[in-house]
Structure 1
């Protein structure tokens, strides 16, 4: 007879199963049920991503039925003609289930509410008549807004009052009524926080002292009051290791207007976060010569669509001697400046990544390759620009120097066939395999598409990974 597996063995197995399989497994016996419930309730609203509309809707209704609605809310929901709350017999155990929730994502939550409040089309009978100004006619529509609003506000209140183990929180929208009705002290265990409005930091998360990573999305003009609010919040974050800034307005405007609307990060803020290890900037620029204050940064991500002269100067004067990861999601600084910056990383750089390269940055590709070869002996992941027909000799030097590389990506506007590049690489090392693809990025209606060739190169035993 097979001996009974212990708890740790079951955990190791269940960690590799998908949600559908886990839901079937909880029906096996009580022991499996107790082990699996924490996995299923760790992030319950992620159920909105599941395939199969019918099964998904049933499960959403099941989750709703487990929330302890007060009498007023239940009556309001049941007053809607095509929406009823039916509780299951295990309703009393709701607080135990909520205790397992560790991840809350605003987008998933609102998708969950949307699915729960949606009424099937075949039930549209006594519809609400609305006058359509564009069509100049009356149309019939079922009013689902009251269901959605009631569910949203009440479930928000339940979560904030009962879920004490939430460690990841992503919040983009919340009503003022919910903010006023809750203290949010139960969120004191947060390690990761993402917010869509900076004022949430003062009104909601003042009791959170254990945050390790924070992502802040700014919308529109960033006033000094917002920076001060953020600075004061960060003063209490003794365990903070990573911070990302994102300017949504700048992300959507990629022409000259965007160029002029880039906002500098406050110098006071940079001084406040001098000890962080990971920094991400999307649509922001650095104050001149202020990158030197970030001597502890190990992970740096920059997303810009225009590099102003003062931004290039700040980057040129920057010094990140402990840097291990360097990523560019948009435009690049001049390659000679980038080569100089990489040369000052003291040999710690392990990952260099670029995306959406601009064809205007092909003047100093050899300088960049030389700098990588000389300064990055520990590099294991590389994505870079290259003039594929002129720089292959420098590539050979790079592969010899960076002998820990297992895969890398070369992007070039000039072309070399996959077979020819494979042959050239085989001379250097017969273990490399090449996959070629043509890429195109549309930057704006007023700017031509950027076309280039991407060569993904991996060791043959890793060629089909991922």
Structure 2
């Protein structure tokens, strides 16, 4: 039998990466197959079942250097590795994806589950330190890191090799110290995606980390308090604004709205707000700034818990017509100008594929125009602004029947609109030959009564059985 080229084998085995049973069989064929399969098995190494995890964790702990094992033994940590002898056949750790804090925590609890001593916390800290040191020392060219613990990963031996090619970094600023962030700044210059969680104070090391990045494209700030971030971090954001194409703020008032005027290359903007913060003065200031903001290259926009349909309309009008997706959510029953937003989208977003927004009586006038002009629309979610029942359900269905583009395959509509049984039948009959992938009703908790009756559900069930609809939550 001719020998198979190793590159071909790698491609084949990589396709089997989630079929561990088959890969285990391949291990036994010969040494060459074993040498190729082992790295693939260990690359996707974190299991969900307890039995497999225990074997995996024991192997990882067996790979600890002698100095680490001695340190742990001297401090009363029993690794229970008596059944494992000799040296590992492979450098297993070098094949692994870098573990997050929760995986290491599970590993530690497996070792210390029967330890009830008052020194358990000290032992836990030592174990965590040595496990992370092991991965930093042996992993190479890590592309993605979740830094959600107090371990100074960038200061451990081997950090420069481990993190040099880092592209995606998540940092929980509650835990990571300034000197560790400064150390990472000395190693990583090409981070493309940076996510900052619990960003509640000015940290010099964090400013340095942002400043040294050559091509930062995505910045996400998740903030647990209403108080805004510091001036230095805002300045650092502005210094990188010309390369950033994706910005995620939660809540939206964690930065001064003036900072947003610097993001002239923004393609994706996600601005989230806390529901009970919608009437804050800073939020009002943000909404005023929406009138003057310009993101000409915008393709994706998501706004949550901000009642600013008029301001969003002005923002969309200043885009170049390349918007592909818009998602707007609010719980403010008194919000106005939802119709003006639909009107603007129908005229300024010819390429839009996904739309989530709210529909009022004024917006209903422009729904036809939206469906006629937006020929690439695939997903449409229309919600109601208030809990009062509206007898406009059939009118919405009829407009969708007559004017929706052939691309539209997913439709979500509010249960606040009352649909007649005949209107439902007429609507789904019109989809024969088009294949509606997903039809869903948006249920609200306004009251215990739903206008979607058993008769409505039976109609949907019948059309699912006829394969006119693939899926619905309304059964």
**Fold in common (TM above 0.5):** yes
Q: How many residue pairs were aligned?
A: 413
Q: 2:294 aligns with which of 296, 300, 319?
A: 319
* Structure 2 unaligned spans of 5+: 387-415, 453-466
The answer to whether residue 238 in structure 2 is matched with residue 271 in structure 1 is yes
Mapped to 2, the partners of 1:418 and 1:273 lie a distance apart of 54
The answer to whether residue 387 in structure 2 is matched with residue 384 in structure 1 is no
The answer to whether residue 324 in structure 2 is matched with residue 350 in structure 1 is yes
The answer to whether residue 240 in structure 2 is matched with residue 238 in structure 1 is no
SS of the aligned residue for 2:186 comes to coil
Mapped to 2, the partners of 1:436 and 1:372 lie a distance apart of 23
Q: 1:93 to 1:24 in 2, by over 3 A?
A: closer
Shift of 1:69: 3.9
2:410 is matched with which residue?
none
Mapped to 2, the partners of 1:87 and 1:267 lie a distance apart of 55
Superposed, which structure 2 residues align to 1:170-189 within 5 Å?
A: 170-175=146-151, 182=157, 184-186=159-161, 187-189=163-165
Asked if 2 retains the 8 angstrom alpha-carbon contact of 1:183 and 1:204, the reply is no
Asked if 2 retains the 8 angstrom alpha-carbon contact of 1:331 and 1:358, the reply is yes
Mapped to 2, the partners of 1:23 and 1:284 lie a distance apart of 47
The answer to whether residue 272 in structure 2 is matched with residue 297 in structure 1 is no
Q: 2:439 aligns with which of 426, 435, 453?
A: 435
1:164 is matched with which residue?
140
Q: RMSD across aligned C-alpha pairs, in angstroms?
A: 3.9
* Structure 1 unaligned spans of 5+: 131-142, 251-257, 442-447, 455-459
Q: 1:115 aligns with which of 95, 110, 119?
A: 110
Greater per-residue strand proportion: 1
SS of the aligned residue for 2:214 comes to coil
Measured against aligned partners, the alpha-carbon deviations of 1:101-142 in whole angstroms (never above 9, x if no partner) come to: 3444233333333334334xxxx8xx65x8xxxxxxxxxxxx
Measured against aligned partners, the alpha-carbon deviations of 1:164-204 in whole angstroms (never above 9, x if no partner) come to: 2211111111246x766547212111111111126242144
Shift of 1:215: 0.6
Shift of 1:418: 8.8
Q: How high is the TM-score relative to the length of structure 2?
A: 0.74
Mapped to 2, the partners of 1:92 and 1:40 lie a distance apart of 15
2:43 is matched with which residue?
42
1:191 is matched with which residue?
167
Superposed, which structure 2 residues align to 1:24-423 within 5 Å?
A: 24-29=24-29, 30-42=31-43, 44=45, 46-47=46-47, 50-51=48-49, 53-70=50-67, 71-73=69-71, 75-76=73-74, 79-80=76-77, 83-86=79-82, 88=84, 91-94=87-90, 96-119=91-114, 128=117, 144-145=120-121, 147-175=123-151, 182=157, 184-186=159-161, 187-197=163-173, 199=178, 200-220=180-200, 222-223=201-202, 226=203, 228-247=204-223, 249-250=224-225, 258=226, 261-263=227-229, 266-274=233-241, 275-285=243-253, 286-305=255-274, 306-307=277-278, 308-328=283-303, 330-355=304-329, 357-360=330-333, 362-387=335-360, 391-412=363-384, 413=386, 414-417=416-419, 420=423, 423=426
SS of the aligned residue for 2:11 comes to helix
Q: 1:461 to 1:215 in 2, by over 3 A?
A: farther
